[in-house]
């Protein structure tokens, strides 16, 4: 008999939320696939990339906002809690939602910028795309600092993204609907490390 996701989980979602609430500012916690994950505090280049993307979103889609470090409830993915580097949604979308973990409903795109830690590969390239696709988030944008490329995941179905497009820093990247604009990523070449 296969154990249920709750039986495999390190703790309950409620216990995780309490732990995350009292965690020091030097760490960010996520609850993915029943496991507590420590997300490293971003370095300065990470922050610069998120700010660059935030400005691009504001210029192209002023009716939307890219909410940095947004906590999302991913109930369709084993009671997970993910903290996106950015969540693109309508202005004031999260107003009225209680606590730091919001529903992913209405989020048009999630963004992750890889960090230089041992868990980045599993977390940003494997677990997060699955979690975001399972939650029905239309677009997942990964800014991969290791490979100096942007990876656009789109068309979620059955817990996976059916479309995955890779573009090197410096190339134009088309973000499909419902995001619906192109990014000129020349600036990201300055942030390659």
Percentage of the chain lying above the pLDDT 90 cut: 51
Q: Which residues contact 21 (CB under 8 A, 6 or more apart)?
A: 100
In this structure, whether the domain defined by 42-191 belongs to CATH 3.40.50.150 is answered with no
Predicted local confidence at residue 151, as pLDDT: 96
List Cα–Cα distances, 190 to 52, 106, 154, 165, 181, in angstroms. Answer: 11, 33, 27, 22, 22
- Whether the pLDDT of residue 84 is over 80: the answer is yes
Q: 116, 145 in Cβ contact below 8 A?
A: yes
When the pLDDT of each residue in the chain is averaged and rounded to a whole number, the result is: 83
- The candidate with the shortest Cα–Cα distance to 53, out of 162, 157, 173, 163, is 173
Predicted local confidence at residue 40, as pLDDT: 58
Q: What is the pTM of this model?
A: 0.77
């Amino acid at each position: 008999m296969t154990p249920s996701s709750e039986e495999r989980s390190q703790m309950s979602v409620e216990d995780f939320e309490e732990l995350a609430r009292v965690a020091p500012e030097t760490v960010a916690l996520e609850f993915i696939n029943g496991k507590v994950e420590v997300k490293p505090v971003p370095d300065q280049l990470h922050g610069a990339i998120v700010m660059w993307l935030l400005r691009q979103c504001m210029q192209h889609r002023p009716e939307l906002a890219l909410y940095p470090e947004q906590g999302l409830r991913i109930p369709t993915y084993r009671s997970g809690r993910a903290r996106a580097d950015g969540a693109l949604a309508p202005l004031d979308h999260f107003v009225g939602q209680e606590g730091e973990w919001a529903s992913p409903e209405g989020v048009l795109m999630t963004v992750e910028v890889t960090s230089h830690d041992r868990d980045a590969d599993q977390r940003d390239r494997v677990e997060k795309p699955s979690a975001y696709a399972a939650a029905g988030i239309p677009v997942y944008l990964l800014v991969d600092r290791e490979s100096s490329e942007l990876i656009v995941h789109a068309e979620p179905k059955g817990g996976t993204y059916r479309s995955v497009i890779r573009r090197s820093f410096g190339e134009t990247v088309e973000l499909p609907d419902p995001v619906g604009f192109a990014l000129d990523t020349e600036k990201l070449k300055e942030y390659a490390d």
